[in-house]
Amino acid sequence: MKRFSWFNATSLTLGFAFLYLPMIILVVYSFNASKLVTVWAGFSTKWYGELLQNEAFLDAAWVTIRVAVFSSTIATILGTMAAYILVRGGRFMGRTLFSGMIYAPLVMPEVITGLSLLLLFIGIGLDRGVFTIVLAHATFSMCYVSVVVSSRLVSFDKSLEEAALDLGCTAWQAFRLVTLPIIAPAVISGWLLAFTLSLDDLVIASFTSGPSSTTLPIKIFSAVRLGVSPEINALSTIMIGIVTIGVVSFSIMSKRNAVRREREERAAIHAT
């Protein structure tokens, strides 16, 4: 029996076309010489030059990168700690409440999260800016890191940690020298996921940002409301390129690491 029928092929083609055809059109029209985004007037790269001279977009991009780097780093540290406690902490008082608080942002509407954080910052008298956006993004992206790292810790062989402890390592040394290197791919994946979520966030950032801390999604949304310009197409193309390069590079590195580990395991088996 054929598992890949014409119906499956057609459905798969239509699905990929629905997802990626708009992106392809956006990339193509970012090289349009005309100022009208719907009228093709020849190939040109002038809008990329115009974009590099647009200080508003450049400032917003710099704010977005800073927020994404700091918030994803904080979220990765806290999310990894939370995942380790949930998987290795056993039963303790308040475990159900703790796990519920960790995973609540996964199902909480972004509007509710943003509004609650806004009221919190106003209540404690904290001025909105880059710092508040970092706190907000770290809060909601930490749960995603925790899910990714927890899935790796569940399948982790505890006997490796126990062997390190038997050989004289402290609990911190066993985690740093044994556990962390093994779960590093999951930690890196969690960081990349948190970084992507921060780059893409619009709703929560709109609640927690200040006048001098406009992120790139907010800037793009404000500009699109007045009409799509070729500069926005160029900016979107650059973002698509950066994300594509990052995903492909991480996939290649993961594949190489998997091949290297497989060779090491085979060499160890032959040695024994």
> Is residue 268 domain-shared with residue 153, that is, in the same domain?
no
Q: Residue 1's pLDDT is what? A: 47
> Is residue 70 domain-shared with residue 184, that is, in the same domain?
yes
Q: Residue 267's pLDDT is what? A: 73
Residue 11 lies in a domain: no
> Is residue 197 domain-shared with residue 90, that is, in the same domain?
yes
Cα–Cα distance measured from residue 133 to residue 209, given in angstroms and rounded to the nearest whole number: 6
Query: Residue 269 belongs to what domain range?
Result: 230-272
* Tens-place pLDDT, residues 121-132: 999 988 888 899
pLDDT < 70 stretches in the chain: 1-4, 265, 268-269, 271-272
> Is residue 186 domain-shared with residue 55, that is, in the same domain?
yes
> Is residue 219 domain-shared with residue 245, that is, in the same domain?
no
Residue appearing with tokens 């290297």? 260
Residue 126 lies in a domain: yes
> Is residue 182 domain-shared with residue 269, that is, in the same domain?
no
Q: Residue 85's pLDDT is what? A: 86
Tokens of 3: 């598992």
Taking the model in full, what pTM does it have?
0.81
Q: Residue 30's pLDDT is what? A: 85
Cα–Cα distance measured from residue 159 to residue 1, given in angstroms and rounded to the nearest whole number: 44
Q: Residue 145's pLDDT is what? A: 92
> Is residue 174 domain-shared with residue 240, that is, in the same domain?
no
Residue 184 lies in a domain: yes
Asked if 150 contacts 86 with a C-beta cutoff of 8 angstroms, the reply is yes
Residue 20 lies in a domain: no
Domain count, the chain: 2
Q: Residue 73's pLDDT is what? A: 94
Q: Residue 78's pLDDT is what? A: 92
Q: Residue 35's pLDDT is what? A: 79
DSSP state of 179: I
Q: Residue 2's pLDDT is what? A: 55
> Is residue 104 domain-shared with residue 213, that is, in the same domain?
yes
Tokens of 230: 């070729």
Would you give the distance in Å from CA 153 to the centre of its chain? 20
- Exposure string for 97-111, b = 16+ CB within 10 A, e = fewer: eeeeebbebeeeebe
Cα–Cα distance measured from residue 109 to residue 57, given in angstroms and rounded to the nearest whole number: 28
Q: Residue 162's pLDDT is what? A: 80
